[in-house]
Amino acid sequence: MQFDGEKIMIGGIAAAEIAERYGTPTYVYDEQKIRANYRRAYQAFAKHYPDFQFFYAVKCCNNPAIVNILRQEGAGADCASVNEILLAKSVGLSGEQVMFSGNFLSDADIQQGLESGVIFNLDDISILPRLLKFGTPEMISFRVNPGYGKSNVGEYVTNAGPGAKFGIHPDDVLKAYKMAKDAGIKRFGAHMMTGSCITDADYFPFITGLLMDIIGKVGRELQIDFEFIDLGGGLGIPYKPGEEALDLERAAEGTAKMFKEKCAEYGLKPPQLKMEPARYFVGNAGYLVGKVHAIKESYKKIIGTDIGMNVLCRPAMYGSYHHIYVDGKENHPRTALGLCGQLCENTDFWVKDRELPADMGEGDIVVVENAGAYGFGMSYQYNGRLRAAEVLVNNGESVLIRDRETFEDMVRHTHVPEYLAK
End-to-end CA gap in the chain: 54
The minimum distance between CB 280 and ligand LLP, in angstroms, equals: 6
According to the binding rule CB under 6 A, does residue 371 interact with ligand LLP? no
Binding residues for ligand LLP, total number by CB under 6 A: 21
* Whole-number Å distance between alpha carbons of 232 and 18: 35
Give the three-class secondary structure for 402: strand
Q: Which positions are catalytic?
A: 344
Q: Are β-strands 52-57 and 389-394 bridged in parallel, bridged antiparallel, or unpaired?
A: unpaired
* Whole-number Å distance between alpha carbons of 201 and 244: 11
Q: How many CB atoms lie within 10 A of CB 107?
A: 11
* Whole-number Å distance between alpha carbons of 153 and 319: 8
The minimum distance between CB 230 and ligand LLP, in angstroms, equals: 8
Dihedral of CA atoms 110, 113, 116, 121 in degrees, nearest 10, equals -130
According to the binding rule CB under 6 A, does residue 374 interact with ligand LLP? yes
Contact stretch for ligand LLP (CB under 6 A) within 89-97, 128-136, 276-284, 389-397: 276-284
According to the binding rule CB under 6 A, does residue 274 interact with ligand LLP? no
Which of 26, 53, 63, 101 forms a contact with ligand LLP (CB under 6 A)?
A: 101
Which of 105, 153, 307, 393 forms a contact with ligand LLP (CB under 6 A)?
A: 153
According to the binding rule CB under 6 A, does residue 235 interact with ligand LLP? yes
According to the binding rule CB under 6 A, does residue 233 interact with ligand LLP? yes
According to the binding rule CB under 6 A, does residue 157 interact with ligand LLP? yes
Candidates 95, 185, 87, 75; CA nearest to 141 is: 185
Q: How many CB atoms lie within 10 A of CB 408?
A: 7
Which of 52, 61, 69, 78 forms a contact with ligand LLP (CB under 6 A)?
A: 78
Rank residues 153 and 303 by Cβ distance to ligand LLP and give the closer one. 153
According to the binding rule CB under 6 A, does residue 278 interact with ligand LLP? yes
According to the binding rule CB under 6 A, does residue 337 interact with ligand LLP? no
- The three-state DSSP-derived secondary structure of 334-381 is EEEEEEECCCCCHHHCCEEEEEEECCCCCCCEEEECCCCCCCHHHCCC
According to the binding rule CB under 6 A, does residue 192 interact with ligand LLP? no
The minimum distance between CB 172 and ligand LLP, in angstroms, equals: 19
Beta bridge mates, 218: none
Rank residues 97 and 398 by Cβ distance to ligand LLP and give the closer one. 97
Backbone dihedral angles phi then psi of residue 113, each to the nearest 5 degrees: -60, -40
Contact stretch for ligand LLP (CB under 6 A) within 270-278, 338-346, 356-364, 383-391: 270-278
- Positions touching ligand LLP (CB under 6 A) are 57, 60, 78, 101, 153, 157, 193, 196-197, 232-235, 276-280, 314, 373-374
